[in-house]
């Protein structure tokens, strides 16, 4: 019977059944542990933000022409490599996929890049439009969407998998991030790329549009923020702290996503007065 199935059916079924649900950040926390590895058609549809019926048509080869953005969602959900991605596009639309987006190498700061790749924690750089320039292996491991050249704001505010990975998505993530974007956009109304990012967010997601246009949260930067999220192959929430640096000359910003326990470990190793300073509650040093 399998020989009568179109190639796209056999490929998608094989790929989703090989996908480990625990590798999808937040999946097992929301849907529970599975006895066997693999995603169902319903799982893939929900992660891609479409109906099960629509995804089912794709897997059965019943869609004549499939939007590239939809196919890219499937690529991310199933964690397809370049060869698998090419096969999916050929079978769905009979043409080669566009090249994966890559940053202009002339905009990459070699000094900051070297620092990032030495970091043991997830770290990445981004410009004033939140387009990612460089990220390290730890960032790709914990935040696999970075491998697809997606803008930070567009991913966090509009992608279905962001709502799965980011705990208390609207209050702790979407509203503060939309506030940052709103302020920068108002300060740079003629920036074409920034206008493009804002417009795409509004077009892609109605909740994100409402937050971006109507919410009154006021946040300028995330430096020092501690938030909770899910990481691949971990069933429980993790707490992280954002540590942000900037290089003034070219407006490069470097973000390090520190494990939440790092601060406590540092405090435990410090004298009590230094720990108080770290907490922002300086005490009175002992007399000499």
Return the H-helix or E-strand segment holding 128: none
Name beta bridge partners: 245: 254
Last residue of a domain, one of 62, 93, 124: 93
Angle ∠(130,72,44) on CA atoms, nearest 5? 115
Tens of pLDDT along 157-190? 999 999 999 999 999 999 999 999 999 999 999 9
Residue whose token pair is 């920034």: 194
Please give the model's pTM, rounded to 2 decimal places: 0.85
Tens of pLDDT along 233-242? 998 999 999 9
pLDDT band with cut points at 50, 70 and 90 for residue 286: very low
Written as one string, the DSSP assignment of 96-121 is PPPPPP---GGG--HHHHHHHHH-SS
Q: Which residue has the higher pLDDT, 63 or 18?
A: 18
- Shared domain for 80 and 126, answered yes or no, is no
- Shared domain for 120 and 223, answered yes or no, is yes
Residue 52 sits in a domain of what CATH number?
1.10.260.40
pLDDT band with cut points at 50, 70 and 90 for residue 143: very high
Q: What is the 3-state secondary structure (H, E, C) of 66-99?
A: CCHHHHHHHHHHHCCCHHHHHHHHHHHHCCCCCC
Name beta bridge partners: 124: 135, 255
Residue 238 sits in a domain of what CATH number?
3.30.450.180
Q: Which residue from 105, 103, 68 is spatially nearest to 88, judged by alpha carbons? A: 68
pLDDT of 281 over the 60 cut: no
Q: Which domain holds residue 24?
A: 2-93
Instruction: Walk across the sheet containing 226-229 and list its strands.
Output: 132-135, 123-126, 252-259, 238-247, 226-229
- Shared domain for 20 and 51, answered yes or no, is yes
């Amino acid at each position: 019977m399998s020989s009568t199935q179109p190639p796209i059916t056999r490929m998608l079924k094989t790929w989703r059944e090989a996908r480990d649900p625990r590798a999808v950040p937040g999946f097992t926390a929301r849907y529970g542990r599975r006895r066997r590895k693999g995603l169902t058609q319903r799982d893939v549809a929900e992660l891609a933000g479409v109906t099960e019926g629509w995804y089912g048509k794709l897997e059965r080869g019943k869609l004549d022409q499939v939007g590239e953005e939809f196919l890219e969602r499937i690529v991310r959900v199933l964690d397809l490599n370049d060869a698998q991605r090419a096969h999916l596009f050929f079978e769905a639309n009979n043409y080669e996929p566009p090249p994966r987006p890559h940053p202009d190498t002339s905009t990459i700061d070699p000094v900051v890049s070297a620092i990032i790749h030495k970091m043991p924690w997830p770290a990445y750089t981004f410009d004033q439009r939140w387009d990612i320039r460089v990220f390290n292996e730890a960032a790709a491991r914990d935040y696999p969407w970075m491998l697809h050249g997606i803008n930070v704001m567009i991913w966090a505010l509009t992608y279905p998998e962001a709502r799965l990975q980011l705990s208390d998505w609207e209050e702790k993530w979407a509203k503060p991030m939309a506030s940052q974007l709103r302020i920068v956009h108002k300060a740079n109304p003629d920036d074409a790329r920034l206008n493009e990012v804002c417009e795409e967010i509004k077009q892609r997601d109605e909740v994100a549009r409402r937050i971006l246009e109507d919410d009154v949260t006021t946040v300028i930067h995330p430096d020092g923020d501690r938030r909770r999220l899910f990481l691949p192959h971990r069933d429980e929430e993790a707490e992280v702290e954002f540590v942000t640096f900037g290089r003034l000359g070219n407006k490069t910003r470097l973000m390090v996503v520190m494990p939440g326990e790092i601060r406590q470990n540092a405090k435990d190793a410090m004298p009590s007065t230094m720990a108080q300073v770290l907490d922002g509650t300086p005490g009175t040093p002992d007399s000499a």
